A and B are shown apart, each in its own frame.
Chain A
Amino acid sequence: MKFTIAPLGDNSLIIELGLDISREIQQKVKKVSSFFEEKTFDWVIETVPGFTTVAVFYDPLKIQSDTLPYESVCEELKLHLEKLEVEEDSRPRIVEIPVCYGGEFGPDLEEVASHNGLSTEEVIDIHANGEYIVYMIGFAPGFPYIGGMSEKIAAPRRSNPRLKIPAGSVGIAGKQTGVYPIETPGGWQLIGKTPRKLFLPEGETPSLLQAGDQIKFVPISIEEFQRIEEDEK
């Protein structure tokens, strides 16, 4: 696997695996991330994937070496990373996200539709039938950066951002779609809401989604929404 390593700070570094957002580079990011989950170094505090990078935060005091910590960390990482290869058949995990579109949950659905000269049903149809991949989690706990939305339903951010967007809201901003795990202010166009919790602070892993997951949005009725919401409690 090809990569470069550069310092981020005096106790962190960034492994760069490519320059553009693509499925291929995403696979490499995923491979490197899972490498750190399988092989645990006692000096690694944690790793953080980006679109084309994996950052490694380490404890310099746990590195026994005559040279400075960064040098010996680089040497050791190179040794391992050079041997890594992305397997062709690595299938992503598929996570279904039920969404109740429109109504009070999706107050901007009509605006997204009229902006694109479509009916609201067409917007839902296009949104729910896309093939989405989670590139990374960031911005807020459990918030997925999702790639793969059709440009047919792209819509600019609201000129007047909302002060409170409820947790679970599904929105569109430009060519991106996303789901808000916690209540935050924001300018995304809201088209629906999921009853599933994306941020699970008490869970074994605090995020429903992980980098590399494939997402499937499944349209549901308000009754189904309420039933799932009850189960999630």
Chain B
Amino acid sequence: MIKITKPGLLTSVQDLGRYGYQKYGVITSGVMDTTAHRIANLLVGNDENEATLELTLLGPDMEFRDDTLISICGGNLSPSINGKPVKLWRSVLVKAGSKLKFGGCKTGCRAYLAVAGGFDVPEVMDSKSTYIRAGIGGHNGKALQNDDELSIGKPSELSRQISEILAEERKDKAFSEMKWTISSDFTVSSVSKPHVRVMRGRQYDWFTTDSQMKLFTEHFEVTSQSDRMGYRLKGPELSLENKQEMLSEAVSFGTIQVPSEGNPIVLLADRQTTGGYPKIGQIATVDLSIMAQLKPGDKVQFVEVSHEVAQQLYLDREKKLHQLKQGIALKIRQKTK
């Protein structure tokens, strides 16, 4: 069990999202940075969809009641256990009674804390994701609060094997870290001037040629009016060639829509299911993690990518992640033989 002693800015239980209910207006929720979340789970021997804690900018403080296998991936929110810094993107075995704290946000915006066995919260509509506005899912339908106690599920066989390897090295220390980490291909959760690949949106042709050009040549800044629902961007004003009314239709993770005042909004994990603003672009799925790690004040440059290339990038990335998963399992099995 884990006890929360300080909740942090916004800490919530999330998995890969609630699918199949958008037709009823139920948003998908789920993690913002799916890559970091999936890898965090793989490093502790969990299924990729198992729930993790999503931490935002200022992480929480917590206490471990039992020996626990964890991993922290995504943005660097300066984690430390009993005062000693912990490395990101690694399997870490924590001793019962140890305290995990987070300091300032050095890179990115969100970190994912996975525990072997996952968080034992009930599934609502097939998902453990917290949907704060409707008060469902996660831990009591809310962001974590002081004194919340989170139960942990049953670890997998692979989790037990990882723990065994780390237990040998831990001895009396508060924690031990795996010697190896994963390829830097996956750990890019912060770049100084990020490039994000974007496909033309369904109403791209409705915009003036000037706006179409500016979308792919100028920088946009993430404003403070940004959250899990969407990022409001500031940059060159984008305008329609002719004033046209749109009928509400489905939107997706990474849809870039433009309200009439001309500043684009990127829709993210807590987006509404449908939207009525013209969509100028759609972020390629492979680059959503980069977008999700941006924080207010960060700048982004959109780069045009074709629908064909975006699909290919997705297939390639999934293949690599699959290889990573097999690689981890293989490495652990060789060690435990």
Contacts and interface: CB of A to CB of B under 8 A. Distances in A.
Contacts of A6: 202
Q: Count chain A CB atoms within 10 A of each CB in B22, B253, B272, B282 and give the residue with the most.
A: B22
Q: Count chain B CB atoms within 10 A of each CB in A7, A21, A182, A199 and give the residue with the most.
A: A7
Interface string A126-150: 0000000000111111110100000
Nearest to B254: A9
A214 B27 CA distance: 24
A113 B81 CA distance: 64
B255 A9 contact: yes
Nearest to B200: A7
Interface in A13-53: 14, 20-21, 33, 45-53
Interface in B1-59: 19-27
A193 B25 CA distance: 20
Contacts of A60: 311, 314-315, 318
B330 interface: no
A53 B250 contact: yes
Contact of B274 (A11, A70, A139, A184): A139
Contacts of A137: 23-25, 273
B335 interface: no
A53 B246 CA distance: 12
A68 B311 contact: yes
Contact of A182 (B133, B253, B284): B133
A174 to B, nearest CB: 13
Nearest to A137: B25
B228 to A, nearest CB: 16
- Chain A interface size range: 35 or more
Given A8-B282, A9-B254, A45-B20, A50 B25 contact: no
A11 B23 contact: no
Contact of B136 (A46, A184, A201): A201
A49 B273 CA distance: 10
Contacts of A61: 315, 318
Interface in B272-311: 272-274, 282, 284-285, 307-308, 310-311
Nearest to B285: A10
B124 interface: yes
A139 B199 CA distance: 25
B249 A140 contact: no
B213 interface: no
B49 to A, nearest CB: 13
Contacts of B253: 9
12 contacts: A8-B251, A10-B282, A11-B285, A11-B311, A33-B23, A48-B274, A50-B274, A68-B308, A69-B311, A140-B133, A141-B27, A207-B24
6 closest Cβ pairs, A-B complex: A55-B250, A50-B249, A207-B24, A138-B274, A48-B250, A10-B310
Interface of A: 6-12, 14, 20-21, 33, 45-53, 55, 57, 60-61, 68-70, 136-143, 145, 181-182, 184, 199, 201-202, 205-207, 210-211
